[in-house]
Amino acid sequence: MSVKVGDTAPDFTLPSQDGTSVSLKDFRGKSVVLYFYPKDDTPGCTVESCAFRDRYEVFQSAGAEIIGISGDSPESHQKFAAKYQLPFTLLSDKGDKVRKLYGATTAFGLIPGRVTYVIDKNGVVQYVFDSMLNFKAHVEESLKGLGAS
């Protein structure tokens, strides 16, 4: 299954960097920028996550929450978030179950892909951006998807 614009975003529950369980439905009534990334503390993922951090207030002003998802452990996420002062939630998708649920691509059939979904306050996907190498574009494209660019 590949989640597309107009689809209801599939709900899920995953552990966060602080060990609490977080569900997508917890954010109903708010827009959500859900970004899948390959791995904590790698060059591209650091650029992408720091770009989201640097525009975090703009997302907040637009009524949106940012959630990052990778297969890394909650402990890895905790270190990554602390090292780069990431103010948003990172979720641990061990086994890539949620990634597969969303149909987030893999690069070269091996590396978990980099895909961002903009989900409105009713849980409907409004925008999808998929680019493995254009790290910072995920932020600008998400803002466009929110109508906040």
| Residue 32 burial (CB count, 10 A) | 23
Tokens of 83: 């090292």
Alpha-carbon distance of 90 to 17, in angstroms, equals: 6
DSSP 119: E
Catalytic residues: 45
Instruction: Please answer whether residues 142 and 31 qualify as being in contact, where contact means their C-beta atoms are separated by less than 8 angstroms.
Output: no
- 65 strand-pairing partners: 32
